[in-house]
Structure 1
Amino acid sequence: MDILWTVLFAVLLIGYFALEGANIGLGMLLPALGRTQEGRDRIVAAMAPFVLAGEVWLVAVAGTLFGVYPQAEGEVLFGLYPLVVCLLVSWIVRDAGLWFRRRADGPAWRAGWDRMICLGSWGLALSWGAALTALATGLSITPAALAGAAALAALLAFHGRAFASWLLPGGAAGTVATGTTTVATGTTEAAGELSGAVLGGAAGRLPGPAAGAGRGAAALAGTACLAAAPAAALLAGTAPWLLEHTAPADTLNVLSLMILPCAPLMAGAQVWVWRTFGPRRAADRFPSFF
């Protein structure tokens, strides 16, 4: 049973970075991909359903850590307390930007909360990168954590750029059609240059608005693997440590009866969200609360 829960924990953590990582990366690039307020409104409206679905993975990861690995949870929270605080603050700031940006009218109000979305997304990326590096180096925050933070931020920005190219009908930074009105949100080349500056030029080669849906989906799958690779590598190296810190068998049996039946529902809900709010659907067919 302990091996089953370790595999499930790995799936949840990898799934978080592969799916929610796309939203984090898109939030990081929001000011560049949405050069006008209308463009940013469209990007946020398109990504909002995926944000809500992606956060389920984080809640599941935290719940599994607390329930299945109570000793490991204490060591992680104590050893990485500053990074955990940064993660929580960044999460709150990013979500506050999403929830509050349309609670009042006025360009200054929305622009301010859009900055909070970007700031919180960068905070999440950097904090996660530093935390994963610290976990890999024995729960110690060293200068190497800065390199890990920068590396994961680059991977998530790369992932967010691919997500934008796949999700938005006119391209994340191209000419976006909103009903009968066309809103210019910059050029694809400009977004490619920004992403290239962050990622060493690689993002500029991602498929743009003219690319086929299959090519965009393939690029998104590839960047999802890259975004989840650091977490997968960490899990591979720390699996023995996790198994040593697993809760007693009786606890795992109770958790299995309570939680495992919900796993198919969670997976099915994720599939439904990605099929329902995918390209050419979310921003055009459904109203957005964000």
Structure 2
Amino acid sequence: MEVIWFVVFAVLLVGYFALEGFDLGVGLLLPVLGRTREGRDRMVAAVAPFVLANEVWLVAVAGTLFGVYPLLEGEVLFGLYPVVVAMLLSWVLRDAGLWFRRRIDGSRWCGFWDAMITFGSLGLSFGWGMALYAAATGFSTSPVHPLGLMLGVVVTLLFAFHGWTFLAWRAPGAFGASRPGRALLVSGFAAAVPVLGVLAGGMPYLLEHSASPAALNVLSFMVLPCAPIMLGAQIWVWRTFHPGKDAVRLPSFF
């Protein structure tokens, strides 16, 4: 049972990086590819239908982490407290930017919230790199370390590349490039490579710190029946919003 839940946790975390990675990547690229307000509107419109579905993966990751590995809760929250707080604030700013940017039709208003989307995406991307470094060291060292900062840069660049590939797939030619679905799969795998490395190295440690078999059985009974619903909703989103489908329609978010 411990191995099964490790696989479930790994799939959820890798899925989050591969899916939410392009959301954050698009946010990072707003000031680069969105030279005009119309361009930024189109970028947000391209990613808008996927945002909430992708964020569900993070909720599932957090629930699985603290349910399957309860002994790690204190280590994660204590060792990563400043990083976790910064990432939560970045998450709030990014989502607030997506919701508020078109509520008032003014260049300063939209410009401010566009900046919050980029700033929040940067904080989340960079924070994930630092968190992965801390996890790789068993939370024994500070995430504010040269290697942790370097990994933050790497994750940020991978997310930006994934976001660029997503835009080239979702809205072919609208941002100067066109990419097939297999290119998006490749960039998604690249975005998940750092977390795959950490999971591969930390597998023995996680298995040793799993909850009791009885607790895992109860968790399986409560959680696993919801997995098909989550997977089905994700498939519906991707089938409904195929490349070109409302990718440039205004208003840009819900």
CA distance 1:82–1:11, change in 2 (3 Å): same
**Residue in 2 aligned with 1:161?**
164
Query: Are 1:244 and 2:208 matched, yes or no?
Result: yes
Deviation at 1:284, TM superposition (A): 5.6
Which of 233, 242, 246 matches 1:278?
A: 242
Q: Which residue does the alignment assign to 1:52?
A: 52
Aligned residue number for residue 147 of structure 2 = 144
Shift of 1:86: 1.4
Residue 8 of structure 1 corresponds to: 8
Structure 2 match to 1:228: 192
Aligned residue pairs total 251
> Once the two structures are superposed, what CA deviation does each residue of 1:126-162 show, in whole Å capped at 9, x if it has no partner?
0001110121123122221011111111111111110
**1:184-226 CA-partner distances (Å, limit 9, x unpaired):** xxxx3xxxxxxxxxxxxxxxxxxx14xxxxx521211111111
- Normalised by the length of structure 2, the TM-score is 0.94
Q: Which amino acid aligns with 1:83?
A: V
| Distance 1:25-1:289 versus aligned 2 partners, 3 A rule | closer
The equivalent of 1:105 in structure 2 is 105
**Unpaired stretches in structure 2, ≥5 consecutive residues:** none
Shift of 1:38: 1.4
- By how many angstroms is 1:285 displaced? 7.2
Q: Which residue does the alignment assign to 2:70?
A: 70
In 2, Cα distance between equivalents of 1:138 and 1:243 = 14
How far apart, in 1, do the equivalents of 2:250 and 2:202 lie?
A: 43
Aligned mates of 2:244, 2:251 — CA distance in 1? 13
5 Å matches for 1:171-210? 171=174, 173=175, 188=176, 208-209=177-178
Report the equivalent of 1:201. Answer: none
Q: 4+ residue stretches of structure 1 with deviation over 2 A?
A: 282-290
TM-score (norm 1): 0.83
User: Is the CA contact (8 Å cut-off) linking 1:19 and 1:224 kept in structure 2?
Assistant: yes
* DSSP-derived class of the 1:170 partner: coil
**SS in structure 1 of the partner of residue 180 of structure 2:** helix
CA distance in structure 1 between the partners assigned to 2:212 and 2:137 by the alignment = 27
Q: Which has the higher contact order (CA 8 A, sep 6+)?
A: 2
Q: What is the SS of the residue equivalent to 1:283?
A: coil
Contact 1:276–1:282 under 8 Å retained in 2: no
Structure-2 separation of matches of 1:229 and 1:32: 25
Cα deviation per residue 1:9-68 (whole Å; 9 max; x = unaligned)?
000000000011011111100122121111211211221111111101000000101111
Partner of 1:267: 231
Q: Give the unaligned 5+ runs of structure 1.
A: 174-187, 189-207, 210-214
